[in-house]
Amino acid sequence: MKKRNSQPYGDDTSTEKNDANYFLRLFITGANPNSIRAVSNLKQICEEHLKGNYFLEIIDVYQQPDVAQKEQLVALPLLIKKLPLPERRLIGDLSDTEKVLKGLGLYTSEEQPSDI
């Protein structure tokens, strides 16, 4: 059995790219702490806010350098939201949930919770 270098992630209703409204690609560098945090944080955000409505592909740039070169990556970990348009890029471990949600277009600054 051949091991895949990129790993799609999602629940049963989101495993096909064509069925998902959100197509996300997360580029990581092996199993370093920042990459592990980014994967964990993004999975949690997706399950809470996009359940059944996304396709997540996790790509280790050490295993697929050609894909990384094609995407012209500048820093890692890096999340690329391919769909819905416009394409957006978020760098880091994705621990700032509000920033990630805004980057995914899930709410605007007017909709953000206020500090009372």
As a whole number, the mean pLDDT across the chain is 83
Strand order in the sheet with 78-83: 6-9, 54-60, 22-28, 78-83, 88-91
Of the two residues 96 and 16, the one the predictor is more confident about is: 96
pLDDT of residue 4: 35
Which segments of 1-116 are extended strands (E)? Answer: 6-9, 22-28, 54-60, 78-83, 88-91
Task: Write the pLDDT tens digit of every residue in 22-50.
Answer: 999 999 999 999 999 999 999 999 999 99
Residue 59 falls inside a structural domain = yes
Residue 68 lies in a domain: yes
Overall domain count for the chain = 1
Q: Tell me, what CATH number does 50's domain have?
A: 3.40.30.10
* Percent of the chain surpassing pLDDT 90: 69
Predicted pLDDT at 107: 76
- For the question of whether the overall pTM of this predicted structure is more than 0.85, the answer is no
Q: What is d(CA 17, CA 73) in angstroms, rounded to the nearest whole number?
A: 22
